[in-house]
C-alpha cells in the first residue's frame, strides 16, 4: 500500500515539476502577442487601411483625370488613295508612310449633383467606423486573452490549493495510522483517511489537467505551441475603489468602441442615401485634349491639335433605377440606425450585469476569506480533539473538506472579480 501511495504521489507531482520548464508570460505580453496573430484583430486592422484608401479615392474624385499617350505606326496603302488613321492625311495608293503621335488629355467633373461630397462623407464615416471597430476588436481580443490568462492563473492556484489538501490528507492519514498502532483508534479511521487522501489526489489530477488545457489554450492565443504559464502579479488582486455607476454609464454610451462603430456605420449609411439621390441632378464635365502628330512625308514635323469640350448630361428617365437605388440605401440606413440603437441598449444591459457581478464578486471575496480563516481554525480544533480522543475521524474529515472547499471558493471569487473587471474595461474601452 505504501508503494502504491508513493507511486500516486509521484505521478501527481510530475506535471508540476515539468511545468517549471515552461515559458512564462505576463498579461501585457500575452495581450500584445495575441493582437499580432489573432485573425479578428488582423482583419480589423486591414479594414482600417482599406477605409483610408477609400477615403483618399473619394477625395480624388474632386481632382482632374490626366492621361498621356504616344504611338508610332507604319501605314501601307495599296491601290486607291486612303486616309492615314494617325495623321488624318490622304496618302497615295501603293505607298508607305511612317507616322508618330503623342497626346495629353485631362477631364474634370464640375458638378455631380452633390454625389462626390456625399461619397466623401460616407468614406470618412466608414473610416471612423473602421477605427472604432479596430479598437473594439483589440479590446475584445484583450478580453479573450485576459480570460484565458486568468483561467491559466486560476488553475495554477487551484493546483496549489489541491496540493495543500493532499498534504493535509497525508498528515491526517499518518495520525490515524499512528493512533491505530497505539490502539486508540479503529481500522475504520485509517481507511476513511485513506479514502479522503485518494479523493484529494483525484481532485489534484483533475485540476492539473485543467491547468494543462488552460496553458495550451493560452499558448494558442499568443501564437505559441505547447504550454505557456501565466505569470502572477500582486497588482491583479487590488480591489478598485467604489465606481461612479452613472459616470461609467455615460462614458459607455458615448465612448464604447462598439457603440462608436455602430454610430459611424449609421452615419455612412446616411451619406450613402444622399449620394444615391444625386442621380436626379444633372452632371457637368469639362475636358481638354492636346496632341502632336507627324509623319515621314513632312519630315516628322509635329503638328498640334487642341480640343476643349464642356458636356452637360441629365438623365431624365432611367426606368426607375434611381428609385430602386434610393430604396435600397434607405433600407440599409434603417438597419444601420436600428443596429446602432441596439448596440447602445446592449452596452447598457451588459454594463448593468457586470457592475452587479463586480460588486457580488467583491462581497464573495470578503466572505470566502472569512470562511477560510474559520475553517482553518475549526480544522485545527478538530484535529487536536481527535488526538486526545474527544472527537471522531468523521468530524476531522468534515472540517478538512470544509477547508478545502473554502480555499477553492476564495480562488474562484478572486478570479470572478478579475473577469468582471475585464468585461467592464472591454465595454468602456479603457482600463479601470
pLDDT at 86: 55
Given a cut of 80, whether residue 432 has pLDDT beyond it is: no
Across the range 69-98, mean pLDDT stands at 67
Across the range 214-218, mean pLDDT stands at 93
Q: What is the mean pLDDT of the chain?
A: 84
Own/partner pairs for 323-332, CB < 8 Å, 24+ apart? 325/276, 325/279, 326/273, 326/276, 326/277, 328/276, 329/269, 329/272, 329/273, 329/275, 329/276, 330/273, 332/269, 332/272
Cross-strand bridge partners of residue 102: 70, 292
Which pTM value belongs to this model?
0.74
In this predicted model, what pLDDT tens digit does every residue of 276-323 receive, in sequence order? Answer: 998 899 999 999 999 988 877 777 778 888 999 999 999 888 889 899
Neighbours of 76 (CB within 10 A): 10
Amino acid at each position: 500500500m505504501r508503494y502504491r501511495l508513493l507511486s500516486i504521489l509521484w505521478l501527481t507531482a510530475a506535471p508540476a515539476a515539468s511545468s517549471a520548464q515552461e515559458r512564462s508570460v505576463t498579461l501585457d505580453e500575452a495581450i500584445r502577442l495575441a493582437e499580432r496573430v489573432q485573425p479578428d484583430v488582423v482583419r480589423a486592422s486591414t479594414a482600417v487601411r482599406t477605409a483610408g484608401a477609400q477615403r483618399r479615392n473619394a477625395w480624388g474624385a474632386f481632382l482632374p483625370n490626366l492621361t498621356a499617350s504616344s504611338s508610332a505606326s507604319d501605314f501601307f496603302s495599296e491601290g486607291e488613295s486612303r486616309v492615314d488613321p494617325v495623321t488624318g492625311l490622304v496618302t497615295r495608293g501603293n505607298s508607305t508612310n511612317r507616322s508618330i503621335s503623342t497626346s495629353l488629355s485631362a477631364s474634370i467633373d464640375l458638378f455631380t449633383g452633390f454625389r462626390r461630397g456625399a461619397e466623401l462623407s460616407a468614406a470618412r464615416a466608414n473610416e471612423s467606423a473602421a477605427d472604432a471597430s479596430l479598437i473594439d476588436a483589440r479590446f475584445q481580443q484583450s478580453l479573450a486573452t485576459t480570460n484565458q490568462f486568468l483561467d491559466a492563473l486560476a488553475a495554477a492556484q487551484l493546483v496549489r490549493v489541491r496540493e495543500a489538501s493532499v498534504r493535509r490528507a497525508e498528515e491526517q492519514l499518518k495520525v490515524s495510522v499512528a493512533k491505530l498502532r497505539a490502539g486508540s483508534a479503529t481500522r475504520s479511521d485509517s481507511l476513511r483517511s485513506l479514502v479522503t487522501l485518494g479523493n484529494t489526489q483525484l481532485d489534484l489530477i483533475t485540476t492539473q489537467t485543467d491547468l494543462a488545457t488552460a496553458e495550451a489554450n493560452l499558448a494558442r492565443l499568443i501564437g505559441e505551441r505547447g504550454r505557456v504559464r501565466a505569470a502572477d502579479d500582486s497588482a491583479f488582486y487590488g480591489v478598485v475603489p467604489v465606481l461612479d455607476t452613472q459616470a461609467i454609464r455615460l462614458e459607455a454610451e458615448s465612448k464604447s468602441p462598439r457603440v462608436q462603430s455602430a454610430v459611424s456605420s449609421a452615419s455612412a449609411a446616411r451619406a450613402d442615401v444622399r449620394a444615391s439621390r444625386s442621380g436626379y441632378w444633372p452632371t457637368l464635365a469639362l475636358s481638354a485634349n492636346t496632341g502632336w502628330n507627324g509623319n515621314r512625308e513632312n519630315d516628322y514635323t509635329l503638328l498640334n491639335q487642341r480640343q476643349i469640350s464642356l458636356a452637360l448630361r441629365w438623365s431624365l428617365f432611367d426606368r426607375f433605377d434611381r428609385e430602386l437605388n434610393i430604396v435600397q440605401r434607405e433600407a440599409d440606413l434603417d438597419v444601420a440606425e436600428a443596429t446602432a440603437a441596439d448596440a447602445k441598449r446592449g452596452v447598457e444591459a451588459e454594463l448593468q450585469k457586470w457592475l452587479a457581478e463586480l460588486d457580488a464578486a467583491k462581497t464573495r471575496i470578503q466572505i470566502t476569506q472569512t470562511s477560510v480563516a474559520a475553517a482553518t481554525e475549526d480544522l485545527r480544533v478538530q484535529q487536536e480533539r481527535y488526538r486526545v480522543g474527544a472527537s471522531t475521524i468523521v468530524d476531522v474529515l468534515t472540517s478538512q473538506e470544509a477547508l478545502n472547499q473554502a480555499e477553492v471558493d476564495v480562488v474562484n471569487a478572486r478570479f470572478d472579480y478579475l473577469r468582471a473587471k475585464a468585461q467592464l474595461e472591454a465595454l468602456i474601452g479603457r482600463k479601470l
